Chains A and B, each alone.
Chain A
Amino acid sequence: MMVTALLAEEVSALTNFLQYTFLGLQKGAVYATIALALVIIFRVSGILNFAQGEMATFSTFITWAIWGDGRVPIWAALALSLVVSFALGASIERLVIRPVSKKAAGNPLPIVIATIGLYLAFSALAPAIWGTDAKRFPTLFGEGSLSLAGASISYQTLGTLAVLAVVVGLLFVLFQKTKIGLAMRGVASNAESASLVGVSVGSVLMLGWALSSAMGCMAGALTANVGLNGALMIAPLIYAFAAATLGGFDSPAGAVVGGLIVGLVAEYSADYLAEVPFTTITFIGEQLRIFPAFLLILVVLLVRPQGLFGKPQVTRV
């Protein structure tokens, strides 16, 4: 009697654990996608794009507008929106970032402020055009789920992870196997040398922004089924920022690993650990969900200031 009760408890603990793991991985995959977008821009240009999240929200509104409540199949709408976002990212680099960088002459602050300007503009633009009410957005991979050891894993979770895998795969091929990727890596390691051997640094930067913008569009479409409004990407951007920091701002692999870790830690600490006795993280509760993730990152950074996968910074005099 006792034994079966204990066994049942153990099984349900395992089920819980799996459930939160799936949820954490799903959210983590979205954070990882945004973090990858941040890292791509940071690697090629040393710029931290504060507008990444709001650009993604705006792209998601475009997807929603094209979809038109089922008028166009959602995947077709998303494909079109990805193209639009790609063009949008490229034009932002050309029309905003490049003139500011040129004038700023190596000082990062004016560019930071320009991305804050973009943040403000995009965060207000979508609600101004389409209204502030939450929009219905389809679940990309349907509502069904698989059952695994008593826990259910939804198609959306599996799909989100698959999308992340595809994005990572495509980026790997792009960076490592193509001439454009070689140029991008060249610019990332030394823009001046790259331009001396004939790489068009401007085009590389435009491509970096375009790719990041398209990835934001993808990430937005994966999360918007909870209800699309202007605040869609505010929290994910902070988590993604945390993920990129954890992994190392110059490391795409770090962004992915960091995203998944941050997603898992946030879920475990807020939901899973809250139900396990003698782990007093209940204090943190719903409100401070982000706190354990930040704490973990602080500890990691104190040991490895360049993040888990980042290259140490070498300063020359």
Chain B
Amino acid sequence: MTAAAAPSELPDTSSEVPTRPNRKALMIKTVLCVVGAVVLIQMPLLMDRSTTQRLTQVLAIAVAVLGLNLLTGFNGQISVGHSAFMGIGAYATAIMMARHESPFILTMMVAMVVAFAVGVVVGLPALRIRGVYLALVTLALAAMFPQLVVRFSGLTGGSTGITLEDTQQVTTPQPVNDLFKSLTGSRLLDNQYRYYLALVVAVVCFVLVRNLVKSRVGRALIAIRDNETPAEVLGVNVGAYKVATFGVSAMLAAIGGSLFVMNADQAVPSEFGIQVSIELLTAVVVGGVATFVGPAVGALALVYVSDLFPKEHPEYAPVLFGLTLIVLMIISPGGIVGLAKQGWARLVRSRSA
């Protein structure tokens, strides 16, 4: 009886039985989407600089969590090594921008290619190794990444990391600024531009992952998660799908790392250690495993959770955080989205009754 062999009963979003079209539910969903979009777009224009930066950080982490959710939530492979993939993205961007003054988008693409390749290599053992045993292989990756960074300090700047100079940072391009000025009459600040850049990248990633999971490929991934043997019998190429999912998941984590560096203007090895892997996994579950908005909610919770606890005794904050996690898991194993879904079901039922 192992964790991996047990058929998982994750909250299933992909195979919801189509019920009678509920027009009210559809209407509420549309309204929510519109309101959400307006809020996301207006946010940096209404908030101060530090809040905008923090929100950009949420977007960066959300993309990384999205990647882990694809792997763990939809494909059933637990990874404790995604901090390393995030770190690969972060360092690809930091090194190329600081040493070669490459444009950010180019660095992100390089990060994606490198992380995909490393992800596939790390995913290869997953063909034979499962569950907790696979978790160890990924844990090894997470433990080694900061040490490798320090070992190759000539390239990576060692334990102090790489800081982007003013001239190397991502700033609002002139044409974008002109366009924005002609529309609104004010300048688009650098931190606002970065937010929108991260938002566009994040939205693209979320939509692509959603489409992927809703497709034939997604059904194959979920079949593999639920039970590999029948999936194989039904003609799913289990090995190829598992390895490819690992690669894509690593690629998304690397995009998150790239965005993170774009926002923070620096890459430090200690920010991509095991701790971060654990935080990403926590964000996946706190948001809602195998859901589409879960990663965003989880990332938001991860960045803002420290604000919830009293400031007088900061040393007790992790204790409260730990207890909050436990209580949340007791109330709702489906995370915050699971909690919201319970509420939603109640709402729709009472309305349509």
Contacts and interface: CB of A to CB of B under 8 A. Distances in A.
B270 interface: no
Interface stretch (A2-10, A15-23, A112-120, A160-168): A112-120
Given A116-B278, A117-B326, A298-B140, A315 B229 contact: yes
Contact of A313 (B2, B139, B230, B274): B2
Given A117-B325, A301-B125, A99 B78 contact: no
B316 interface: yes
Interface hub of A111, A117, A249 (most chain B Cβ within 10 A)? A117
Interface stretch (B130-138, B175-183, B190-198): B130-138
Interface string A265-295: 0000000000000000000010110110010
Interface stretch (A102-110, A176-184, A217-225): A102-110
A238 interface: yes
A48 B140 contact: no
B1 A120 contact: no
A63 B281 CA distance: 33
A305 B129 contact: yes
Could you say which of B78, B132, B278 has the most chain A C-beta atoms within 10 Å of its C-beta?
A: B132
A298 B141 CA distance: 11
A121 interface: yes
A122 B130 CA distance: 29
Question: Which of A99, A120, A307, A317 counts the most B-chain CB atoms under 10 A from its CB?
Answer: A120
A100 interface: yes
B319 A121 contact: yes
Given A118-B322, A238-B143, A104 B333 contact: yes
B318 interface: yes
B8 interface: yes
Contacts of B111: none
B3 interface: yes
A108 B136 contact: no
Given A108-B6, A121-B323, A307-B133, A290 B230 contact: no
Interface string B286-301: 1001000000000000
Given A112-B78, A245-B136, A288-B151, A121 B318 contact: yes
B111 to A, nearest CB: 24
A242 interface: yes
Given A116-B325, A313-B2, A238 B151 contact: no
A317 B289 CA distance: 24
Contacts of A106: 6-9
B317 interface: yes
Nearest to A294: B140
A-side interface mostly: helix
A297 interface: yes
Interface stretch (A66-74, A81-89, A124-132, A134-142): A124-132
Nearest to A42: B132
A103 B135 CA distance: 24
B139 A302 contact: no
A290 B139 CA distance: 11
B333 A110 contact: yes
Contacts of A305: 128-130, 133
Contact of B125 (A109, A125, A302): A302
B321 A120 contact: yes
Contacts of A250: 2
Most A C-beta atoms less than 10 A away, residue of B3, B131, B285: B3
B326 to A, nearest CB: 4
The bracket for how many chain A residues form the interface is 35 or more
B150 interface: yes
Interface in A84-102: 96, 99-100
B312 interface: no
Contact of A290 (B129, B144, B289): B144
B113 interface: no
Given A48-B135, A116-B278, A317 B229 contact: yes
A191 B1 contact: yes
A241 B128 contact: no
A47 interface: yes
A298 B151 CA distance: 22
B337 to A, nearest CB: 13
A279 B137 CA distance: 25
B168 interface: no
Contacts of A12: none
Interface in B108-148: 125, 128-133, 135-137, 139-140, 143-144, 147-148
Given A103-B329, A301-B128, A116 B319 contact: no
A221 B285 CA distance: 34
A60 interface: no
A302 B121 CA distance: 13
B227 A107 contact: no
Contacts of A242: 136, 140
B136 A121 contact: no
A294 to B, nearest CB: 4
Contacts of A117: 321-326, 329
A306 interface: yes
Nearest to A290: B143
Interface in B151-195: 151
B325 A113 contact: yes
Nearest to A246: B136
B3 A287 contact: no
Given A112-B285, A242-B136, 6 more contacts: A48-B3, A104-B333, A114-B326, A120-B322, A302-B129, A315-B5
10 tightest A-B contacts by CB?
A: A121-B322, A117-B325, A124-B318, A120-B322, A110-B333, A108-B3, A294-B140, A128-B315, A117-B322, A117-B326
19 contacts: A46-B3, A47-B3, A100-B326, A104-B329, A105-B9, A107-B333, A109-B72, A117-B329, A121-B321, A121-B326, A128-B315, A189-B1, A238-B143, A287-B151, A294-B140, A294-B143, A297-B140, A298-B125, A301-B136
